Structure 1
Amino acid sequence: MKKYDVAIIGAGIAGASIASEIGAHRSVLLLEAEDQPGYHATGRSAAFWTETYGGPLVQPLTSASRDFLENPPREFSETSFLSKRGAINISRDEEAHLAEKFVADFADSEVAMEFWNPDQMRALLPNLKEGWSNAVYEPDCCDIDVAALHAAYLKDAKRKSVDLRCRSRVVQIERLGDGWAIEAGDQHFHSDILINASGAWADEIAAMAAIMPVGIQPYARNIVQIETDPPSSPNRPLVVGLDGSFYFKPEAGGNYWISPHDEIPDVPSDVAPDELSVATAIDRFEAVLDVEVKKVTRKWAGLRSFAPDRLPVIGFDPDDHGFFWFAGQGGFGIQTAPAAAQLAKSLFLKEPPNPGLEKIDAVRYGPARFH
């Protein structure tokens, strides 16, 4: 039974980022059930960074992650993970109140946003149909190179001697004195502390360790890639419905990524695309832009896992300080990864937070709020 200071369950963006942060301070085992890390939620991201995504209580983590993503430490990456996109949040003629509420929700933040009139909207969306006259523009919205970010975290963790074990699904966890006995795959390990970064499986892992689950629910989100006539222009902005019913993003090659912004309750699994959701995505897209959808070129689904209050769960379990939660990151886990992992590191090592994180209320994200 090989022994470690820490065992992290899950090597998606959550597990990889916290492994990178604490790898230089503890001996770390990183367990991944699949053949390769990031197979589930991380590998199926819509790949954008926008400060308003997730709401005003998630925004501080997103904003605090920007500098790292834009200008990462040279030893971590020689290139930025962000590229400018811009986002237009829109609503129908009769829904001006949605735009007003959207801006009001972030009034206490420093998020850059502007009310736009129809002429400004059509300058960037020349195919916009009639009936859409309210818009809030976010100039700082960016695309994220998710694969590069995840790979950089894994590479940095390896450089810090983190032991990554793929094809190692956890099948048993047992409290053993002051530590944990873990059976994963056909191997046995021991760790002093367990970090639950298992995404959709977070409550299952907690129950396996005899820890009270916090109510993390996986939801399926469908994304469709379509080819249109006229084709998309890759420099166009992300477009988000202020009523929460769609978003779409132009891609290179003349395609769009579109989503009905659906949340279908599911169980932890390798979720497949839902045909009704695919049809809904196309229908809602065609209600916004006057373009012809020629064909679906790709479709996929991923699980986004939320705690009951839709905030991340970060910190030691109040009933067992050998169990650390790093889960419930919904659809914002990529864009908040740097700040969330740095915050988790400070809580885990019981040290002051990094500069820039001092004003973030860590208690707000702690698991004790569910007890």
Structure 2
Amino acid sequence: MKTLDHLIVGGGIAGLATAYQLGRQGSGRTLLLERGELGNEASAQNAAILRGFSADATLRELARRSARFLRNPPAGFGPSLVEQNGLILLGDRSRAERWRAILESGPDREELRAEGVREIPKGEFERLAPHVVSSYEMALYCPRDGRIAIRRLVDALARSAEKAGVELRTAAVVEKLLLEGKRVVGCRLADGTKVHAEEVVIAAGAWAGSLGRGAGSHVELRPTRRHLGLTTPLDLAPTRPVIWSEAESFYHRPERGGALLCVCDEDEVDPDRMQVLEGIGDTLLAVARRELKGFEKSRLTELWCGMRTTTANGCFCVGPDPDRQGLFWVAGLGGHGMSCGIEVGRLAANMLTGRDDEPELTKAIAPTGRSPLRSR
């Protein structure tokens, strides 16, 4: 095989979005390798929530741009990829102070206002979510957020990337990256096949860190698990908004007649040996019964854990590796992949093709090498 221009390792939302954008730009030969099926790891195991608001301005901007794409996708993607039933964030006093400051004087306050993001009074919250009894200082309503149609998104990205000339290969397990001196020049697959490329893009989610370490990179990533559970059918209208209590670290949304629950747990795991934590189902139900009405007799019909990969300092890891030429990261999105992955893919493609015209934004998400939190 001739040397590729770009080799992408990982076929989740971030990897597919990068492949799609590279294809659109006609940037040479691109191959994407996925160890399983496309969009079948972290991209398929999460709550599929579009959340545009956070306390971090960079995250808000990335999510805002991704949301525009998802709500009004380009030709070939079908209708809107978001069920805009809304999302309500519940915050305690300290969070309320930060959120109000953002709404009143943040650099993107006009954009937030245009999107309808606002504090709502208790009466309106009770009308929108009559089943919630959580205590809170502030309810922040984001009416255009909601649930992302993940499967449709994955299929449309893959279809459009292939139409643009990108090759997608599944069941292709990357065993290690190949080096010539200090430059990454490709990879070796588990079946012994070697693939060479000018640029190798690691978008492998929970497996990204180990691949980078094997090539001598000092970028540190932490694969973690988070549990979700689905309850038996409840008297919960499917059009109810996502309710995310930051104070209680608990969110839920309607799903298949019941409710999808998460207590925002996070612990480091080996992605090849990840299992559901014993007793976590009882924890999910206990929190739901405390925070929600009508859940007293609910049971879990499904329980699973998804993967989130974070950096030690909590920032994204998108851009050229600080130590290894030919190595580029699209990783460490830390649970924001659904909300930010589309725009991250666009920025990554621009950087890879020398079209980066937003240096301040790309600097904010660049790999940091040795984490300052680990080097103290």
Q: TM-score normalized by structure 1?
A: 0.89
The residue that corresponds to 1:101 in the other structure is 98
Match for 1:349: what amino acid?
A: T
Structure 1 residues 300 and 160: CA distance shift in structure 2, 3 A: same
User: Which range moved further: 59-68 or 2-11?
Assistant: 2-11
The residue that corresponds to 2:52 in the other structure is 51
The residue that corresponds to 1:68 in the other structure is 69
- How many Å separate the matches in 2 of 1:249 and 1:331? 17
Match of 2:216 among 210, 213, 229: 210
User: What percent of counterpart residues are identical?
Assistant: 26
Instruction: Mark the runs of 5 or more structure 1 residues left unpaired by the alignment.
Output: none
RMSD of equivalent CA atoms = 2.2
- How many Å separate the matches in 2 of 1:105 and 1:308? 26
Match for 2:209: what amino acid?
A: D
The residue that corresponds to 2:201 in the other structure is 195
The residue that corresponds to 1:25 in the other structure is 27
Pairs aligned (count): 359
Structure 1 residues 359 and 283: CA distance shift in structure 2, 3 A: farther
CA contact (8 A) 2:316 2:334 kept: yes
Post-superposition shift, 1:179?
5.8
- How many Å separate the matches in 2 of 1:152 and 1:360? 30
Work out whether 1:160 is the aligned partner of 2:199: no
CA contact (8 A) 1:128 1:290 kept: yes
Q: Which runs of 4+ in 1 moved over 6 A?
A: none
Structure 1 residues 118 and 327: CA distance shift in structure 2, 3 A: same
- How many Å separate the matches in 2 of 1:328 and 1:54? 18
- How many Å separate the matches in 2 of 1:4 and 1:191? 4
Instruction: Mark the runs of 5 or more structure 2 residues left unpaired by the alignment.
Output: 372-376
Structure 1 residues 248 and 55: CA distance shift in structure 2, 3 A: farther
The residue that corresponds to 1:41 in the other structure is 42
Match for 1:137: what amino acid?
A: Y
Structure 1 residues 55 and 4: CA distance shift in structure 2, 3 A: same
CA contact (8 A) 1:237 1:249 kept: yes
Work out whether 1:220 is the aligned partner of 2:217: no
Post-superposition shift, 1:17?
1.0
Q: Could you say what secondary structure the match of 1:320 adopts?
A: coil
Match of 1:334 among 331, 338, 342: 338
Match for 2:279: what amino acid?
A: L
- How many Å separate the matches in 2 of 1:252 and 1:324? 39
CA contact (8 A) 1:11 1:37 kept: yes
Match of 1:285 among 285, 288, 297: 288
Q: Could you say what secondary structure the match of 2:58 adopts?
A: coil
- How many Å separate the matches in 2 of 1:281 and 1:179? 44
Post-superposition shift, 1:273?
2.5
- How many Å separate the matches in 1 of 2:201 and 2:151? 23
CA contact (8 A) 2:90 2:138 kept: yes
Deviations 1:250-284 (A, max 9, x none): 1242x100101111221223633224222212111
Structure 1 residues 102 and 325: CA distance shift in structure 2, 3 A: same
Q: TM-score normalized by structure 2?
A: 0.88
CA contact (8 A) 2:177 2:187 kept: yes
- How many Å separate the matches in 2 of 1:225 and 1:360? 41
- How many Å separate the matches in 1 of 2:313 and 2:168? 32
Match for 1:361: what amino acid?
A: L
The residue that corresponds to 1:88 in the other structure is 88
Match of 1:274 among 268, 272, 277: 277
Post-superposition shift, 1:121?
1.7
Match for 1:5: what amino acid?
A: D
Structure 1 residues 129 and 367: CA distance shift in structure 2, 3 A: closer
The residue that corresponds to 2:374 in the other structure is none
User: Which range moved further: 119-128 or 338-347?
Assistant: 119-128
The residue that corresponds to 1:185 in the other structure is 190
Output aligned runs, 1:241-320, within 5 Å: 241-243=245-247, 245-253=249-257, 255-269=258-272, 271-291=274-294, 292-320=296-324
- How many Å separate the matches in 2 of 1:48 and 1:179? 35
Structure 1 residues 158 and 139: CA distance shift in structure 2, 3 A: same
Structure 1 residues 199 and 314: CA distance shift in structure 2, 3 A: same
